[in-house]
Amino acid sequence: MSKYNKTQRGWAFYDWANSVYSLVISTAVFPIYFASVTESMESISLFGFHWKPDSLYSYALSISFLIVAIMSPLLSGVADYTGRKKTFMKVFCYLGALSCMGLYFFSEDSVEIAILFSMLASIGFWGSIVFYNAFLPEIAPPAYHDALSARGFAWGYLGGSILLIFNLAMILQPEWFGLSGAGQASRISFVTVGIWWAGFAQITFARLPKETQTNWFEKQTLVRGFQELKKVWRFVKREDKPLRQYLLAFFLYSTGVQTIILLASIFGSAELGLEATDLIVTILIIQFIAIAGSLFFAKLSQKTGNLMALQIQVVIWAAICFAASSLRADMPEVRTYFFVLGGLVGLVLGGVQSLSRSTYSKLLPKTTDTASFFSFYDVTEKLAIVLGTFIFGLASATFGNMRTSAMILSGFFVAGWLVLWLLRRTIRKADAPNLDAFAPD
């Protein structure tokens, strides 16, 4: 019999629902389809300007991350005041799912549709994650956070992989499904993402706690939202050094992690000359190994403490960047080396994401303002994405290759490891016995 109750299992199942966006839309099928549709276009005219297709797609994602970073703290404060976390989560979930389905209408004559709906899908995904994460400290005691968080990520990797394999079957053998070609199959795959996401999310919404507060949106609600945000910021800034240090460490190593996730395919194709099939194989390798990785590091954290387990993973991430910076397209076994690096990424990807979330939830003070606190977590991650992708692109343009960019990213992991080490010292010195498990001797 499972040690988790119905609510906890329902919460973790949202990873199964939403991870298809991360895999099919953000990482695999849509970026490849976008590149194939726009490959013959020297530039795209949009809003009175001419853009290079790959740059336009990158800028659209950056803008969506900035929008979420600006918007989520305010909405989180409002959600905490009104007691409507689940309502906000539903709104962003449906926005993201419908936007994925809207990508079906993307063609050479309507690139603006791809840009618009890819931005809205990104906003929907990341916006819903803020409120999803905020439920963790509400539905489970700290002792369950690591394992429950890992369970969610493991389900997400499995669910995303199942749908991706189905979509790849449609794209590679469209005649099996009565489709005219790979293009139509790709567009239908975007619809399947929206249906899967919104459909399986119903299990989560049915099992999450009911909204019992009666505060509704009114004239002063936005003001109160800002007040909630200000209260959390004051607490983090002045009264909680461990939480402040952890957010800094999370920002530093997330700059590397999220940049690698978003740009690994571009690195493999543009820098190493790998085929699209090689990239998709690598993505699947990452997904399946990440299932085991998230569960393994959840177990490891029980023996070493959360911070030590995170430090081990950050060292591996730094090694991955260093190894990637040494790869060249003319190396005899570059394809095999890239697969190996993909396996290592999978090992630490699930672990670092699930442990980061659960560690933060354990560091939170006893409060009902969980959405407001998790908005800081979310904003930290989004700003890390903006910084990482900007530095990666700037270094690539300056030095003429992405290998230097990968080497620079390793520096963020080193800095993140140092801050985690300082955090362990802070916790050991503090009179906080409830945090001993984070930094055992």
pLDDT above 70 (res 246): yes
Cα–Cα separations (whole angstroms), residue 284 to 24, 103, 245, 258, 296: 11, 23, 34, 18, 19
The pLDDT of residue 216 is above 90: no
Q: What is the DSSP letter of 209?
A: P
Please determine, for residue 437, whether its predicted confidence score (pLDDT) is greater than 50.
Answer: no
In the three-class reduction of DSSP (H, G, I as helix; E, B as strand; rest coil), residue 333 is classed as: coil
Distance (Å, whole) CA 222 – CA 277:
48
Asked if residues 88 and 374 have their Cβ atoms less than 8 Å apart, the reply is no
User: 170 pLDDT exceeds 60?
Assistant: yes
The fold adopted by the segment(s) 6-438 is: Growth Hormone; Chain: A; (1.20.1250)
Is 188 or 366 the better-scoring residue by pLDDT? Answer: 188
Q: Residue 46: phi, psi to the nearest 5?
A: -150, 130
pLDDT of residue 104: 93
| pLDDT tens-digit readout, 280-330 | 888 888 888 888 888 888 888 888 888 999 999 999 999 999 999 999 888
What's the rounded mean pLDDT across residues 47-54? 66
Q: What are the sequence ranges of the domains in the chain?
A: 6-438
